[in-house]
Amino acid sequence: MKPGTRLKSAACDTEVMVIRAADGTIECGGAPMDEAKPADAAPLAADFSAGTLMGKRYVDADGRYELLCVKPGKGSLSVDGVALVVKDAKPLPASD
Amino acid sequence: MNIALLLEMAAEAAPDRVGLVCEGKRWTYGDLLGAARGAFELIRQSDAQYVALLDESSEAAVIAVFGAALAGVPYCPLNYRLPDADLAALLARIAPALVIGDEERITRLAADQGHTVLSREEFSLKAQEAVPAEDAREYDPGEGVAIQLFTSGTTAAPKAAILRHSNLLGYIFGTVEFGTADEGDAALVVVPPYHIAGISALLSSIYSLRRIVMLPAFSPEGWLSLVADEQVSNAFVVPTMLARIIEAMERAGAAGISSLRAIAYGGGKMPLEVIRKALELFPEAGFTNAYGLTETSSTVALLGPDDHREALASQDPAIRARLTSLGKPIPTVEIEIRGEDGETLGPGQPGEIYVRGEQVSGEYKEKSALDAQGWFPTRDAGYMDEHGYLFLSGRADDVIVRGGENMSPGEIEDVLLTHPAVADACACAIPSVEWGEAVGVAIVLRDGHEMPAEPDLKDLVRARLRSSRVPEKIVFLSELPYNEMGKLLRRKVKDVLAG
């Protein structure tokens, strides 16, 4: 998956921008994400329904995946069934 | 990934929030994105290879940078203070361009270069009126160059530094969290649009959802009244601006500026006296010293508010000295000091500052300056102390080499500035038959002080530093030459000393 690819959730309104990715399947709300939205919405899996937040970056434990949420939704993000977590950013003072 | 994403996200999250205030007019994030998409249409119709701006800061700078990004055409703001001949040469290097700004001057200098010229008002109006075609537009994917900035070219023809979308987004994602500004926050932008700090201020303010308040032409009074009128919370200034703001506050007082919580500075050496006074005059504000270059997409190291207050309050000379430091590298950037043979140097050892990171472009249109491992030689000379604080001694090219011994002008200047009669000082290399180079200094006297005897000044340097640093030639000037960003023009002083 190329950096800059915009993926849409099949289960909710979530859209993400790929910053970094490997070969696994990126999912939202339990369903695979794709550049196009499917005609029929996928059901929102209960285990992946915590929601996404605008502007947050989501990462895996190994640092192989990083997704930027550019449109929030009800589903939450995972790769091959493993939930991604919000990247902790240490706040820097504004320098410009 | 395209830098236009920053504005698209702001407009998605807060379409009706005011993102820009310029000369009394207020623009929401929705307005700005609409105009940037309109600018895309204008750029496509013009067949321009570049989008250039020859103008002071205005809404056109914001619309142009994002419009150009959507169209996949580099945005190239030009320095309107350049003499005609230099400007004509730069315009020729970016032809054919859509040039926004001073129509009369562009036509006079470059009528035969094939540019499309629009005044600021025309461009802003047409961009708002241009309605994208029915079918959704294919915007540029952002895999190329977003911005091209010409360096000031003090030693040779100006170089065209290029910043890719990936460099700028690396900087923004690494340093700013989306939408973290409070609804009332506002950043006062006074740096000209052709300077990297003027561009990065737009990008980071928009991504944090902090309202931009533009002051196109700096005056200390104008700056202070805009802070009060717009309840500004954040500001970036160059050292000469801060010095003039302080003078104005001491002259006329300053009411209504308590909204100011964060003041960042950079772009030149901050005199110790000025920052000390500023810390006293703005007791509630957090000060941040930002160090960065055009080629590094702005800030790579910073000295934060806590460091400033700690240094001011400390009795320990090593901690007090941090007020003159550039602070520590930001987490997404690596910094190393290297010697002449390219070896990595340890704490306290002076050498050249090297930088590496996603935001570091180090690339010119002609060639890349990065080494095989991706490190960018900044040509800045400095050292890092044992606690990781970075100190700048000057440009590597300004180092004086006397009989094989390297000396930084900064250390000699710092000693001279301790003399009560010395208001400003500049040390540079002068030709020497015996040593190859020797130390020459230009000195500006403080008002009301008598001219010190030359042997006194030489003794002062000899007592504090080694005898090799004692100036061989001393001249007294009424003022030192600075550019509009507060950078000391050493080459001009060198010419005076050589004459």
pLDDT digits (tens, 9 = 90+) for A45-79: 999 999 999 999 999 999 999 999 999 999 999 99
As given in the structure block, the two tokens for residue B312 are 């001011």
Residue B311 has pLDDT above 60, yes or no: yes
User: ∠ CA(B332), CA(B327), CA(B494), 5° rounding?
Assistant: 110
Question: If you ran DSSP here, which 8-state letter would residue B56 be given?
Answer: S
Is A86's Cβ below 8 Å from some Cβ in B?
no
Residues in A touching B299 (Cβ below 8 Å): 95-96
> Which H/E stretch holds residue B461?
helix B454-464
Q: What is the pLDDT of residue A47?
A: 96
Neighbouring C-alpha atoms within 13 Å toward the C-beta of B319: 11
Whether B57 and B121 share a structural domain: yes
Number of domains chain B contains = 3
Judged by CB atoms within 8 Å, which residues 220-259 of B form the interface with A? Answer: 234, 236
Q: How far is B264 from chain A (nearest CA, A)?
A: 5
Report residue B156's pLDDT band, with 50, 70 and 90 as the boundaries.
Answer: low
Q: What is the pLDDT of residue B134?
A: 59
Whether B183 and B324 share a structural domain: no
Is B331's Cβ below 8 Å from some Cβ in A?
yes
Q: Mean pLDDT over residues B205-233, rounded? A: 97
Whether B377 and B405 share a structural domain: no
Percent of chain B at pLDDT > 70 equals: 99
Domain-embedded: residue B308: yes
Whether B209 and B353 share a structural domain: no
Rg of chain A, C-alpha, whole Å:
13
Residues in A touching B330 (Cβ below 8 Å): 92
> Rounded to an integer, what is the distance from CA B402 to the centroid of its chain?
31
Whether B144 and B175 share a structural domain: yes
Whether B371 and B405 share a structural domain: no
Per-residue model confidence as pLDDT tens digits over B403-417: 878 888 888 998 999
Domain-embedded: residue B390: yes
Domain-embedded: residue B146: yes
Domain-embedded: residue B356: yes
Q: Mean pLDDT over residues B387-395, rounded? A: 90
Instruction: Decide: B335 and B347 in contact? Cβ < 8 Å.
Output: no
Is A68's Cβ below 8 Å from some Cβ in B?
yes
Per-residue model confidence as pLDDT tens digits over B463-483: 988 888 999 999 999 999 988
Q: How far is A36 from chain B (nearest CA, A)?
A: 15
Identify the CATH number of the domain in which residue B82 sits. Answer: 3.40.50.12780
User: Does the distance separating the beta carbons of A68 and B173 come in below 8 Å?
Assistant: yes
* Burial track B163-175 (b if 16+ CB lie within 10 A, e otherwise): bbbbbbbbbbbbb
User: Does the distance separating the beta carbons of A95 and B175 come in below 8 Å?
Assistant: yes
Domain-embedded: residue B236: no
Q: Mean pLDDT over residues B369-393, rounded? A: 95
Residue B280 has pLDDT above 80, yes or no: yes
Backbone torsions φ then ψ of A13, nearest 5 degrees: -85, -10
Report residue B6's pLDDT band, with 50, 70 and 90 as the boundaries.
Answer: very high
Judged by CB atoms within 8 Å, which residues 27-56 of A form the interface with B? Answer: 54-56
Nearest by Cα to A76 from A51, A44, A46, A42: A51
User: Does the distance separating the beta carbons of B180 and A91 come in below 8 Å?
Assistant: yes
Whether B36 and B172 share a structural domain: yes
Tell me which of B217, B251, B276 is where a domain ends.
Answer: B217
Q: What is the pLDDT of residue B286?
A: 97
Per the prediction, chain B carries an average pLDDT of: 94
As given in the structure block, the two tokens for residue B316 are 């320990």
Domain-embedded: residue B35: yes
Range of the domain at B76: 4-217
Q: What is the pLDDT of residue B30?
A: 97
Beta bridge partners of B334: B356
Whether B140 and B14 share a structural domain: yes
Q: What is the ipTM of this complex?
A: 0.94
Whether B129 and B156 share a structural domain: yes
Instruction: Decide: A39 and A56 in contact? Cβ < 8 Å.
Output: no
Per-residue model confidence as pLDDT tens digits over B414-450: 899 999 999 999 999 999 888 889 999 999 999 999 9
Domain-embedded: residue B223: no
Whether B463 and B340 share a structural domain: no
Q: Indicate the pTM of the whole model.
A: 0.90
Q: What is the pLDDT of residue B66?
A: 98
The residue of chain B nearest to residue A6, with distances taken between CA atoms, is: B1
Which runs of consecutive H residues, i.e. helices, occur in B209-286? 220-230, 239-252, 272-281
Cα–Cα distance, B162 to B474 (Å, whole number): 40
- How many CB atoms neighbour CB B396 within 10 A? 18
Nearest to A70 among B5, B177, B330 (CB): B5
Tell me which of B397, B431, B451 is where a domain ends.
Answer: B397
In sequence order, what DSSP letters do the residues of B468-482 get, joined into one string?
Answer: GGS-SEEEEESS--B
| Cis before B83? omega within 30 | no
Identify the CATH number of the domain in which residue B490 sits. Answer: 3.30.300.30
Report residue B198's pLDDT band, with 50, 70 and 90 as the boundaries.
Answer: very high
Instruction: Decide: B268 and B485 in contact? Cβ < 8 Å.
Output: yes
Residue B3 has pLDDT above 70, yes or no: yes
Q: Mean pLDDT over residues B2-15, rounded? A: 97
Domain-embedded: residue B140: yes
Whether B455 and B350 share a structural domain: no
Q: How far is B178 from chain A (nearest CA, A)?
A: 5
Residue type, position A42, single letter: A
Backbone torsions φ then ψ of B497, nearest 5 degrees: -70, -30
Residue with tokens 């209504």: B256
Identify the CATH number of the domain in which residue B320 sits. Answer: 2.30.38.10
Whether B322 and B414 share a structural domain: no
Tell me which of B359, B374, B397 is where a domain ends.
Answer: B397
Residue type, position B363, single letter: E
Cα–Cα distance, B29 to B27 (Å, whole number): 7
Please tell me the least confidently modeled range out of A87-91, B56-60, B84-88.
Answer: A87-91
Per-residue model confidence as pLDDT tens digits over B316-348: 999 999 999 999 999 999 999 999 889 999 999
